[in-house]
């Protein structure tokens, strides 16, 4: 029996009948050929999964949200950190004194209250008020007597029954009586005396009660020299800060100042140095400066502790960027350098000095580079994972 070509297509598909009729070794060869053909058919080259190799592109939405800033050369600003306190403006402050001794029978305001000019603050009963009332009555009586006495003497002088010096004395007595009555009337106009030997303390100006040294039922002594109320306007306040000797040469009037307080962490209030007190405190070895701050919402209260940061320019210039452009990650500092929407790079930088608005860079940026300084964290994360 002639042998078949095992490599032909027919050999790879031997019929069942042929296998049955053929010798054993022929059937085995046919089976091997079929298996080989099936294996070769299933082991052909397979297509690899496609990979996304497109570059990062900034979307329209994110492009409208970000802000770009150009790196510029700028003089490095140094900083001086000072401790200080909030104080009321002494030029907009008034003290209220108890003019007479007596017993306090009413106090109508408390520390921190807002008062208006003329408002009743306290009522005091005093025997001295009774003395003042008696003096006022006496002054009125003396004036009436002096007027009648002068009228009589003028008639006598016209009848040549009185000498001219006596007439002059009568006129002088009337002038003294008028002066005394005027004085008493002024006292009563300044101090509000009431019936029952009482007088009222009233606010001489509008403002806040920042000091109070009077309570109900307390007896005020005759030698009361300290004010019982202090009133101040607080829509503008002072910050009094102490400068150490080593920093005195750097401090100038007009310097920019940033003020923060414990009460409002993160809130920065800006003002300028408007007064330098050129006297050194021998105990603390410091010199005091004053900063004016607007306080329209009365957030700042007298005696609050304040932290003051003064800024001054140095001679050296370095590349500068907004502080908001800095990204902190794993103890390193980065910025996003922007060329176009398809070309944004993460760049590590080294900062020399930084304040709340500006950071000066020693390595990583050159003047003219453009950085993203707002809403850049999402882009940084996307680039890091891309």
Mean pLDDT of 43-66: 62
Pick from 36-50, 106-120, 215-229, 310-324: least confident:
36-50
pLDDT value of residue 35: 45
Is beta strand 370-374 parallel, antiparallel or unpaired with respect to 256-261?
unpaired
**More confident of the two residues 167 and 50:** 167
Instruction: Provide the CATH topology of domain 60-74+316-385.
Output: 2.40.420
Name the strands in the sheet holding 192-194, side by side, starting at the edge strand that comes first in the sequence.
192-194, 198-202, 120-125, 102-107, 219-220
Please check whether residue 286 is in contact with residue 80, taking contact to mean a CB–CB distance below 8 angstroms. Answer: no
pTM greater than the 0.75 cutoff: no
pLDDT at 236 over 50: yes
Inform me whether the pLDDT recorded for 39 exceeds 80: no
Predicted pLDDT of residue 123: 92
For residue range 167-208, what is the model confidence (pLDDT) as tens digits?
Answer: 899 999 999 999 999 988 887 777 777 777 888 899 999 999
Distance CA 294, CA 269 (A): 9
Q: What are phi and psi of 343, to 5 degrees?
A: -140, 85
Thinking of the domain 96-231, which architecture would CATH place it in?
Answer: Beta Barrel (2.40)
Largest CA distance in the chain: 192
> pLDDT class for 243, splitting at 50, 70, 90?
very high
Q: Which CATH number fits domain 81-88+232-315: 3.40.50.720, 3.40.190.10, 2.60.40.3620, 2.40.30.170?
A: 2.40.30.170
CA distances from 193 to 71, 136, 187 (A): 71, 12, 9
Report the pLDDT averaged over residues 40-65: 59
Task: Please state, rounded to an integer, the average pLDDT across all residues of the chain.
Answer: 84
Task: Grade residue 99 by pLDDT with cuts at 50, 70 and 90.
Answer: confident
Helix (H, G, I), strand (E, B) or coil at 220: strand
Neighbours of 18 (CB within 10 A): 15
Enumerate the domain spans of the chain: 60-74+316-385, 81-88+232-315, 96-231
Distance CA 156, CA 65 (A): 102
Residue among 264, 273, 228, 9 nearest 100 (CA): 228
pLDDT band at 224 (very low <50, low <70, confident <90, very high): confident
pLDDT of residue 135: 87
Question: What's the pLDDT tens digit per position in 311-336?
Answer: 887 778 899 999 999 999 989 999 99
Q: How confident is the model over 118-127, as a mean pLDDT?
A: 91
Gap between the Cα atoms of 181 and 332, Å rounded: 83
Residue 19 has pLDDT above 60, yes or no: no
pLDDT at 55 (0 to 100): 67
Residue of 192, 210, 361 whose CA lies nearest to 298: 210
């Amino acid at each position: 029996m002639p042998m078949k070509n095992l490599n032909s297509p027919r050999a790879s598909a031997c019929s069942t009948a042929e296998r049955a009729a053929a010798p054993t070794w022929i059937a085995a060869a046919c089976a091997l050929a079929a298996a080989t053909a099936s294996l070769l058919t299933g082991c052909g080259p397979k297509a690899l999964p496609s990979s996304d190799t497109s570059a990062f592109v900034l979307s329209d939405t994110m492009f409208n949200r970000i802000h770009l800033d150009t790196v510029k050369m700028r003089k490095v600003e140094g900083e001086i950190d000072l401790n200080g306190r909030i104080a009321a403006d002494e030029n907009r402050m008034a003290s209220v004194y108890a003019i007479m001794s007596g017993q306090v029978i009413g106090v109508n305001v408390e520390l921190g209250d807002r008062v208006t000019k003329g408002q009743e603050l306290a009522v005091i009963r005093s025997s001295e008020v009774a003395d003042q009332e008696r003096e006022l009555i006496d002054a009125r009586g003396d004036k009436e007597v002096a007027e009648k006495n002068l009228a009589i003497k003028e008639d006598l002088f016209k009848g040549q029954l009185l000498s001219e010096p006596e007439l002059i004395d009568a006129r002088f007595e009337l002038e003294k009586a008028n002066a005394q009555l005027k004085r008493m009337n002024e006292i009563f106009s300044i101090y509000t005396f009431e019936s029952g030997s009482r007088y009222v303390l009233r606010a001489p100006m509008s403002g806040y009660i920042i000091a109070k040294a009077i309570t109900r039922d307390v007896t005020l002594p005759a030698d009361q020299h300290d004010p019982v109320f202090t009133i101040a306007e607080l829509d503008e306040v002072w910050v009094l800060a102490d400068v150490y000797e080593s920093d005195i040469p750097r401090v100038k009037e007009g310097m920019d100042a940033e003020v923060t307080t414990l009460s409002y962490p993160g809130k920065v209030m800006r003002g300028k140095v408007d007064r330098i007190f050129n006297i050194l405190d021998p105990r603390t070895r410091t010199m005091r400066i004053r900063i004016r701050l607007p306080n329209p919402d009365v957030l700042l209260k007298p005696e609050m502790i304040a932290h003051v940061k003064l800024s001054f320019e140095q001679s050296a210039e370095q590349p500068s960027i907004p502080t908001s452009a800095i990204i902190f990650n794993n103890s390193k500092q980065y910025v996003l350098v922007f060329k176009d929407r398809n070309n944004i790079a993460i760049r590590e930088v080294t900062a020399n000095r930084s304040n709340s608005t500006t950071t000066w860079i020693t390595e990583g940026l050159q003047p003219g580079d453009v950085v993203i300084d707002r809403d850049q964290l999402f882009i940084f994360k996307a680039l890091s994972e891309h």
